[in-house]
């Protein structure tokens, strides 16, 4: 795919808009697609003004003002999925983590895109093989799992479905490298590699919290200072979204039938009470773990 080819991002929410920004910063023309102009307007504002947006990148010296302006101009938006797919050289789906929804989206984009276009999903846990059954091109369906925030995080998890071709795998790996990322290739198995490890850590952290072993601030601090993690499990959950964490755990339990993937009571209660994550990233949220427990994050306490 040439850099002047259109990269279509279907689902321009929290992750989709950041993935779109990343592609634009690397010279690709991007079309963001979502259901309403209001969602798309919010996305464009976050790309420019948000915590990991273009203006912040300029302030941090990562981009010049001219580069930020050019990146923003490479991004267009539309509610017309068919029209966008007709211009696509590569598609990344980034809608809500729901298998039925993703299959419905893939059925549509499969019918709208040229036959040679690769269709990627940014899912963190759902089956690539199952999603591919909604299309007539299972060899060209692949997982391309970015990490939040994708503008910063270097890893891209490339997931091979049962029928994904080697050509599709190699193309996607090369594309990730063009974005300045390091790709790893994993098998299509519930949770893949990263979500299995990350969720296991989060579940154990929640168990420690519920048992009164330590508070969230101290648990996060031990992972930062003791293991060198850039964020602790509760900080990360607030960033990703507690509702997203809940959905992933439920999906892992449903796909495997393994009782080890048990949803923490505190997570269910927080989401039910409107605490779905960092309110700066989740409009309408009362907050995340740190807002509920009224504690400062380790970085605020340690001054970094």
At 222-247, the pLDDT tens digits run: 999 999 998 999 999 999 999 999 99
And the tokens for 139? 């060899």
Lowest mean pLDDT among 1-15, 59-73, 182-196: 1-15
Instruction: Say if residue 7's pLDDT is above 70.
Output: yes
Write down which residue in 187, 204, 234 finishes a domain. 187
Could you read off the pLDDT of 108-150 as tens digits, one per residue? 999 999 999 999 999 999 999 999 999 999 999 999 999 988 9
Q: Are 277 and 148 in contact (CB under 8 A)?
A: no
> Residues 9-16: what's their mean pLDDT?
95
Write down which residue in 187, 204, 231 finishes a domain. 187
Q: What is the pLDDT of residue 304?
A: 61
1 lies in some domain: no
pTM: 0.90
Could you read off the pLDDT of 141-155 as tens digits, one per residue? 999 999 988 998 999
The count of structural domains within the chain is: 2
Q: What is the pLDDT of residue 283?
A: 83
Backbone angles phi, psi at 99, to 5 degrees: -60, -45
Do 158 and 66 share a domain, yes or no? yes
Q: Are 263 and 250 in contact (CB under 8 A)?
A: yes
Do 164 and 206 share a domain, yes or no? no
Do 24 and 127 share a domain, yes or no? yes
Instruction: Say if residue 25's pLDDT is above 50.
Output: yes
Do 71 and 205 share a domain, yes or no? no
Q: Are 26 and 1 in contact (CB under 8 A)?
A: no
Instruction: Say if residue 2's pLDDT is above 50.
Output: no
- What CA–CA distance (Å, rounded) separates 239 from 60? 20
CA atoms within 13 A on the CB side of 184: 11
Write down which residue in 160, 187, 214 finishes a domain. 187
Do 113 and 246 share a domain, yes or no? no
Q: Are 165 and 158 in contact (CB under 8 A)?
A: no
**Rounded percentage of the chain residues whose pLDDT exceeds 70:** 98
Residue 209: band (very low, low, confident or very high) from pLDDT cuts 50, 70, 90: very high
304 lies in some domain: no
142 lies in some domain: yes
105 lies in some domain: yes
Instruction: Say if residue 4's pLDDT is above 90.
Output: no
Query: Widest CA span of the chain, in angstroms?
Result: 55
- What CA–CA distance (Å, rounded) separates 146 from 87? 23
Average pLDDT, the chain: 95
CATH of the domain at 240: 1.10.1040.10
**Consecutive H or E run containing 75:** strand 75-78
> Domain limits at 256?
194-297
Do 80 and 150 share a domain, yes or no? yes
CA end-to-end distance (rounded Å), the chain: 40
Handedness of CA 226, 229, 235, 241 (dihedral sign): negative
- What CA–CA distance (Å, rounded) separates 34 from 244? 19
Residues in Cβ contact with 222 at an 8 Å cutoff, skipping those fewer than 6 apart: 214, 232
């Amino acid at each position: 795919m040439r850099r002047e080819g259109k990269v279509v991002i279907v689902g321009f929410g929290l992750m989709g808009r950041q993935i779109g920004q990343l592609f634009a910063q690397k010279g690709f023309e991007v079309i963001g697609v979502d259901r309403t102009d209001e969602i798309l307007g919010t996305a464009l504002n976050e790309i420019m003004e948000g915590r990991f947006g273009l203006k912040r990148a300029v302030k941090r010296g990562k981009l010049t003002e001219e580069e930020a302006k050019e990146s923003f101009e490479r991004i267009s938006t539309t509610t017309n999925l068919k029209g966008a797919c007709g211009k696509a050289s590569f598609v990344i789906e980034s809608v809500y983590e729901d298998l039925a929804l993703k299959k419905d989206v893939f059925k549509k984009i499969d019918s709208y895109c040229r036959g040679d276009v690769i269709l990627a999903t940014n899912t963190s846990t759902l089956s690539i093989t199952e999603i591919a059954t909604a299309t007539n091109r299972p060899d060209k369906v692949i997982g391309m799992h970015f990490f939040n925030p994708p503008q910063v995080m270097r890893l891209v998890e490339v997931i091979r479905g049962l029928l994904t071709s080697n050509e599709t795998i190699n193309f996607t790996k090369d594309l990730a490298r063009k974005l300045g990322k390091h790709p790893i290739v994993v098998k299509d198995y519930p949770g893949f590699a990263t979500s299995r490890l990350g969720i296991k850590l989060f579940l154990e952290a929640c168990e420690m919290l519920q048992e009164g072993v330590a508070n969230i601030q101290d648990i996060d601090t031990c992972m930062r200072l003791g293991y060198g993690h850039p964020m602790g499990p509760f900080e990360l959950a607030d960033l990703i979204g507690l509702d997203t964490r809940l959905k992933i755990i439920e999906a892992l339990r449903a796909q495997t039938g393994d009782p080890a993937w048990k949803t923490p009571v505190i997570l269910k209660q927080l989401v039910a009470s409107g605490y779905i994550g960092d309110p700066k990233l989740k409009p309408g949220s009362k907050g995340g773990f740190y807002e509920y427990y009224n504690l400062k994050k380790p970085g605020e306490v340690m001054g970094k």
